[in-house]
């Protein structure tokens, strides 16, 4: 009653005409609501559009034109299913994937999952530093000087606690890739053919096409994204009551990120008419010429630099957090080396190894794609853990996968596993001289 009496006198002070005519506040409220929905799901999904992702999508467009669009449509469905399961696990348990795997599986099984994550993330770290090298070569710098300096810079930003400020700069630079949808329209692609390839499969029966398909899976449904979204949802305190909003964020984020990926394929396919693997980052940058003209290489280089530098810090950090949490030791960037030796030591080792491998002479774009193939081979292993956890009523209770969702999720994981197994078999046969 007191609350009503204190607010009542304010009513006469409001003009009589204010109530019926308030379109601006209504639109602002809607905008605020829409922005509030954007959260871990959107961030995690767009993390796939990093250096390895951009290179792989561009290579798909250059090498096979629009033929991978239908494949990307299937990958989008799988990404939505997988990311939704991870977000639900985080919301209903309040624990990240690393913690859930440790709690629900034996020590050996958990250690195997952790090893797979380390290998997958190390491949990503290599691809990020390769992306930095390719970006700075476009901007006129030698990779043999740029990559070591970038590695030292990323390491210092994280260890000395100034990474959060640099993160904003990297994110702004990454926005350059949002010009791809505009570039795709301005390049005047064959929309009829692109629509037909999107709606109906036009696959190529070749080993290279299959390898690229697994690379597209590896860069789109990367384990880092799954571990991030579950941990971020749990860390933000998003519970069952808030989960409907987070589910919208996760599903919309996955669809939006893959729409950008498809525009990259379309723009590159329209800009590069000679169907062959990309030889350089400059070729990938040529797809942005309808937007940036003669500055296409610089625009692409800045975007690639921002995306690569951001992920070059975040990905090894995610590995360090997962390992430190599993072992039960200190895990914080605010600690010194003597306080968190395993956490910061593992981060340092990943940065050094990733930068060193990225300096190996060769085609940086193809190195980026190969790193995604490795990721694609490991992805189905970790997705099996996710599917098992999401199916368990002992973990999620009534929020566990229902019969229909279980079938859809099982099919997605099984198809990814089958493709990875075929590629792995072909690789082994090639090593034995039987491929």
Given this model, what pLDDT does residue 80 score? 94
- This prediction has a pTM of 0.80
Phi, psi of 428, rounded to the nearest 5 degrees:
-65, -40
Measured distance CA(316)–CA(132) in Å, rounded? 15
In 108-230, where do the E strands start and end? none
Q: Going by C-beta distance under 8 Å and a sequence separation of 6 or more, which residues neighbour residue 109? A: 101
**Torsion over CA: 333, 131, 302, 266 (sign):** negative
Q: Rounded to whole angstroms, what are the CA distances from 114 to 52, 107, 413?
A: 22, 10, 19
Q: Is residue 33 situated within a structural domain? A: no
- Torsion over CA of 63, 214, 42 and 115, rounded to 10 degrees? -140
Q: Is residue 31 situated within a structural domain? A: no
Measured distance CA(8)–CA(14) in Å, rounded? 11
Burial 244-262 (b: 16+ CB within 10 A, else e): eebbebbbbbbeebbebbb
- Torsion over CA of 171, 341, 133 and 379, rounded to 10 degrees? -80
* Region at 361 (left for phi over 0; alpha for psi -120 to 50; beta for the rest): beta
Measured distance CA(25)–CA(31) in Å, rounded? 10
Given this model, what pLDDT does residue 45 score? 61
Q: Is residue 34 situated within a structural domain? A: no
Taking the chain (435 residues) in consecutive chunks of 10 residues, what is each chunk's mean pLDDT?
38 42 50 49 65 86 93 92 93 87 88 89 88 88 90 86 65 74 89 93 85 87 82 83 89 88 92 82 84 85 83 83 76 73 90 92 80 85 94 94 94 90 77 64
5 alpha carbon, distance to own chain's centre: 53
**Torsion over CA: 409, 56, 369, 430 (sign):** positive
427 alpha carbon, distance to own chain's centre: 26
What is the total residue count of the chain? 435
Q: Which CATH number fits the domain that encloses residue 237?
A: 1.20.1740.10
In order, the DSSP letters of 190-237 are -HHHHHHHHHS-----SHHHHHHHHHHHHHHS-HHHHHHHHHHHHHTT
Measured distance CA(288)–CA(295) in Å, rounded? 9
- Give the H/E segment covering residue 107: helix 107-138
Measured distance CA(301)–CA(175) in Å, rounded? 12
Q: Going by C-beta distance under 8 Å and a sequence separation of 6 or more, which residues neighbour residue 47? A: 222, 224, 225, 228, 311, 314
374 alpha carbon, distance to own chain's centre: 15
Q: How many CB atoms lie within 10 A of CB 408?
A: 16
In 3D space, the residue among 301, 5, 299 whose CA is nearest the CA of residue 140 turns out to be 301
The total number of structural domains in the chain stands at 1
Q: Is residue 22 situated within a structural domain? A: no
Residue at token pair 């796939």: 48
Q: Is residue 9 situated within a structural domain? A: no
Phi, psi of 400, rounded to the nearest 5 degrees:
-65, 160
Q: Is residue 4 situated within a structural domain? A: no
Q: Is residue 157 situated within a structural domain? A: yes
The answer to whether the beta carbons of residues 287 and 271 sit under 8 Å apart is: yes
Given this model, what pLDDT does residue 22 score? 47
In 3D space, the residue among 117, 118, 177, 129 whose CA is nearest the CA of residue 302 turns out to be 177
In order, the DSSP letters of 110-129 are HHHHHHHHHHHHHHHHHHHH
Q: Is residue 305 situated within a structural domain? A: yes
The answer to whether the beta carbons of residues 123 and 278 sit under 8 Å apart is: no
**Domain boundaries, position 228:** 39-431
**Torsion over CA: 302, 306, 309, 315 (sign):** negative
Three-point CA angle 94, 97, 102, nearest 5°? 100
């Amino acid at each position: 009653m007191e609350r009503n009496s204190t607010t009542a006198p304010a009513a006469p002070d409001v003009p009589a005409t204010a109530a019926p005519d308030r379109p601006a506040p209504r639109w602002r409220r809607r905008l605020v609501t829409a922005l509030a929905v954007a959260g871990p799901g959107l961030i995690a999904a767009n993390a796939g559009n990093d250096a390895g992702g951009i290179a792989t999508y561009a290579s798909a467009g250059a090498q096979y034109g629009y033929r991978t669009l239908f494949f990307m449509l299937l990958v989008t469905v799988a990404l939505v299913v997988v990311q939704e399961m991870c977000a639900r696990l985080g919301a209903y348990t309040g624990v990240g994937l690393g913690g859930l795997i440790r709690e629900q599986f034996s020590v050996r099984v958990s250690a195997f999952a952790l090893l797979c994550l380390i290998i997958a993330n190390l491949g990503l770290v290599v691809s990020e530093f390769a992306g930095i090298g390719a970006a700075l070569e476009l901007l006129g710098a030698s990779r043999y000087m740029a990559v070591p300096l970038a590695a030292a810079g990323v390491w210092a930003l994280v260890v000395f606690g100034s990474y959060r400020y640099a993160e904003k700069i990297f994110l702004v630079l990454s926005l350059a890739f949002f010009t791809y949808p505009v570039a795709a329209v301005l390049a005047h692609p064959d929309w009829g053919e692109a629509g037909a390839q999107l709606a109906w499969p036009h696959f190529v029966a070749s080993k290279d096409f299959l390898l690229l398909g697994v690379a597209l899976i590896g860069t789109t449904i990367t384990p880092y994204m799954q571990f991030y979204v579950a941990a971020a949802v749990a860390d933000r305190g998003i519970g069952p009551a808030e989960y409907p909003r987070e589910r919208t964020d996760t599903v919309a984020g996955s669809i939006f990120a893959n729409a950008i990926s498809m525009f990259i394929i379309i723009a590159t396919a329209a800009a590069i008419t000679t169907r062959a693997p990309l030889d350089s980052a400059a070729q990938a940058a040529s797809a942005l010429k309808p937007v940036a003209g003669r500055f296409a290489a610089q625009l692409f280089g800045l975007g690639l630099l921002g995306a690569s530098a951001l992920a070059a810090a975040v990905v090894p950090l995610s590995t360090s957090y997962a390992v430190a949490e599993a072992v039960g030791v200190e895990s914080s960037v605010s600690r010194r080396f003597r306080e968190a030796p395993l956490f910061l030591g593992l981060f340092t080792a990943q940065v050094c190894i990733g930068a060193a491998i990225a300096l190996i002479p060769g085609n940086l774009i193809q190195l980026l794609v190969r790193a995604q193939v490795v990721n694609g081979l490991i992805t189905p292993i970790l997705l099996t853990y996710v599917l098992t956890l999401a199916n368990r009523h002992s973990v999620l209770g009534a929020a566990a996968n229902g019969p229909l969702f279980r079938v859809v999720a099982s099919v997605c994981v099984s198809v990814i596993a089958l493709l990875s197994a075929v590629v792995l078999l072909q690789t082994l046969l090639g090593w034995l001289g039987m491929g």
